[in-house]
Structure 1
Amino acid sequence: MRTPGQRAGLTGAAIVDAARAVLDGGTPLSMRAVASRLGVAPNALYSHVDGRDGLLDAVLDDLLGSLPEPPSSDPRDGLVALMTASHELLLAHPALMPHFVARQGARGPHARRLGDEMRSLLAAAGVTDRAAQDMAVRVLVVHAIGSAALATAPDGAPLPVAHLRATYATGLSWLVEGALRGCEQ
């Protein structure tokens, strides 16, 4: 027997795209809003997602799927490139920033891939302790999300976005250097 979502011809990707359009359009995310955009009843969505939080996690993770692998094999350059691309991606989707903050990032396969890439870069730089890698990944991700949240605050950033980007780059450099230097001690 086919579920309502299957009968409606829905796919998980179509639902995620519709949810992202709802969020990017400034409408609060709800199953009803996404279903309306797709022209289906809300219950049709549950064949593909576990509810609003599951849908939100899928949207956030899908966004991270567009990030490329680090372009450099140099660990320091790779970390900086990956985190800078992550920060720019977050800046490009200001309507999603409150959700990244509330959900403390993303949890899906793309987020795990990025975490694994970061750990590989850290290992290549000599940071082989898993706890140290996890801490470095967490600090770098929190820096990217927090800086992007500041820059995309709905009431306007306290500083020009260009200044916040420069501040992000400086802080990122300090954090990467500290993480890599920490393994030398």
Structure 2
Amino acid sequence: MPRTPGQRAGLSHEAVLTAAKRVFAERGLPGLSMRSVAGELGVAPNALYSHVADKDALVDALLDDLLGALDPPPPDAEPVAGLREVMLATFDLLARHADLVPLYLARQGARGPQARALGAAMTVLLARLGVDDAAAGRVVRALIVSTLGYAALATADDANLNPPELRADLEVTLDWIVRGATA
């Protein structure tokens, strides 16, 4: 079976992702393209398509990769504390990567395996609180949207509120959402 251009070039998904991170850090989203990542790796652009479908998939992989730094709450965690901890850790992570917050907002979160694992872990905790599967998806979405919104406020160039204050407000909001979902 013939090897793909990416295999012949000795590339891996991880190498492509690492190069994409460097390009994004240096040039931002406007400078991130399959051609610029290929240039960073010293290969022809077609070599990348063995590892990533297109620029959208590349951006999705960047966003999901960042979520890999988060530990999903264990299934035996106290449910409210576990949900709060993962969302606050997400806020803290996004606050450290302000350049990615607009991408999460534009894509309404992340869709990759890391994001799905976090969502599944949150759903398990919600089930332990008595939230059924149909409602759990809405609750997870509300928790994520709130966290993204607070991260966007905390990382905005003209932010009038400071991140610690916003983080404290987020903690209260997360509790309201979970209490409302379990009422």
TM-score, with length taken from structure 2: 0.90
Q: Which residue of 1 aligns with 2:13?
A: 12
Paired residues, what number?
179
Question: Quick one: which amino acid aligns to residue 53 of structure 2?
Answer: D
Q: Which residue of 1 aligns with 2:105?
A: 101
Cα gap change, 1:130/1:152 in structure 2, threshold over 3 Å: closer, same or farther? same
Residues 57 and 107 of structure 1 are in contact (CA less than 8 Å); yes or no, is this contact kept in structure 2? yes
Q: Which residue of 1 aligns with 2:40?
A: 37
Query: How far has the Cα of 1:97 moved from its partner?
Result: 1.1
- CA offsets per residue over residues 136-171 of structure 1, 9 Å max, x none? 001001111111112112x33222222222222222
Runs of 4+ in structure 1 deviating by more than 3 angstroms, as ranges, are none
Q: Which residue of 2 aligns with 1:49?
A: 52
Match of 1:133 among 136, 143, 150: 136
Q: In structure 1, what is the Cα distance between the partners aligned to 2:23 and 2:168?
A: 31
Cα gap change, 1:24/1:170 in structure 2, threshold over 3 Å: closer, same or farther? farther
Q: Which residue of 2 aligns with 1:160?
A: 162
3-state SS in 2 of match to 1:70? coil
Between stretches 116-125 and 70-79, larger displacement belongs to 70-79
Q: In structure 2, what is the Cα distance between the partners aligned to 1:173 and 1:23?
A: 35
Match of 2:92 among 88, 95, 100: 88
Question: Quick one: which amino acid aligns to residue 149 of structure 2?
Answer: G
- Identify unmatched segments of 5+ residues in structure 2: none
Residues 24 and 93 of structure 1 are in contact (CA less than 8 Å); yes or no, is this contact kept in structure 2? no
Equivalent residue runs for 1:105-124 within 5 Å: 105-124=109-128
Cα gap change, 1:102/1:134 in structure 2, threshold over 3 Å: closer, same or farther? same
Between stretches 118-127 and 34-43, larger displacement belongs to 34-43
Between stretches 78-87 and 67-76, larger displacement belongs to 67-76
TM-score, with length taken from structure 1: 0.89
Q: Which residue of 1 aligns with 2:83?
A: 79
Query: How far has the Cα of 1:123 moved from its partner?
Result: 0.5
Residues 104 and 110 of structure 2 are in contact (CA less than 8 Å); yes or no, is this contact kept in structure 1? yes
Question: Quick one: which amino acid aligns to residue 56 of structure 2?
Answer: D
3-state SS in 1 of match to 2:28? coil
3-state SS in 2 of match to 1:25? helix
- Identify unmatched segments of 5+ residues in structure 1: none
Question: Quick one: which amino acid aligns to residue 180 of structure 1?
Answer: T
Q: Which residue of 1 aligns with 2:181?
A: 179
Is 1:151 the counterpart of 2:154? The answer is yes
3-state SS in 1 of match to 2:147? helix
Question: Quick one: which amino acid aligns to residue 166 of structure 2?
Answer: L
What is the root-mean-square deviation of aligned Cα atoms in Å?
1.6
